[in-house]
Amino acid sequence: MTTTVRRDPIITELHAIRERLAERFHNDLAAYSETADAHCRALGFHIVHSPTDKERGAANARQVLRPADQDLRDTDGTNP
């Protein structure tokens, strides 16, 4: 049985754009992100960043259980 790989032109275009951006910014994602942020700000967009774990506090970052999941904790209530 022969399998034919179908090339989606939109996906092909996206890959080409990604390659051009990687080349332009020397695969530096931080440099690309800063440029993208600056471009969006110039267009009048308000950029909102999520707080980091350090900003939220390590304890808050680890609290992922919903109240209904409380019975899944260890008996001392500290480990999920």
Its pTM stands at 0.49
Cα gap 4→46, rounded to integer Å: 45
Signed CA dihedral, 46, 15, 17, 32: sign only: positive
At 35-67, the pLDDT tens digits run 999 999 999 998 887 777 677 665 554 555 555
User: pLDDT value at position 78?
Assistant: 53
Residue 77: predicted pLDDT: 52
pLDDT at position 40: 92
